[in-house]
């Protein structure tokens, strides 16, 4: 999976990179967030470890933007784990990834 293309697309769609300072996401995770409704955020979390590169997409309610990466969401409304190209097929329905 080409995470660099996904990250580039997130940046073009005005997602903000958020520091992961909490315990809800794994250490070393990169979080990209965008508010889609008041205190409801679309998050893409890129997990990296030695064996796999995994992306988690979720829609979650936080008490504020500053809570992302610090504490757990108040509610998770949607969750998708993307671990291989087959999973990416479903992901592309929700996000258009450019080839640039």
Looking at residue 91, its pLDDT comes to 64
CB contact burial 52-82 (16+ within 10 A = b; e otherwise) = eebbbbbbbebeeeebbbeeebeeeeeeeeb
pLDDT at 41: 96
What are the angstrom distances between the C-alpha of 83 and each of 16, 73, 80, 91?
Answer: 22, 23, 10, 11
The reported pLDDT for the residue numbered 43 is 94
State the pLDDT at residue 82.
79
Q: What is the pTM of this model?
A: 0.79
According to the model, what pLDDT value does residue 100 have?
46
* Separation between Cα atoms, residue 36 and residue 47, nearest integer Å: 23
Query: How high is the mean pLDDT in each 10-residue block of the chain (100 residues)?
Result: 71 87 86 94 82 81 94 93 72 55
pLDDT at 64: 95
């Amino acid at each position: 999976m080409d995470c660099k293309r996904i990250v580039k697309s997130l940046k073009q769609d005005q997602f903000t990179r958020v520091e992961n300072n909490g315990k809800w996401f794994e250490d070393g995770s990169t979080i990209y967030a965008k508010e889609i409704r008041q205190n409801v955020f679309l998050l893409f979390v890129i997990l990296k470890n030695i064996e796999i590169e995994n992306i988690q997409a979720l829609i979650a309610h936080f008490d504020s933007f500053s809570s992302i990466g610090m504490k757990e969401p108040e509610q998770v409304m949607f969750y998708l784990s993307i671990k291989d190209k087959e999973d990416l097929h479903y992901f592309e329905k929700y996000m258009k990834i450019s080839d640039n």
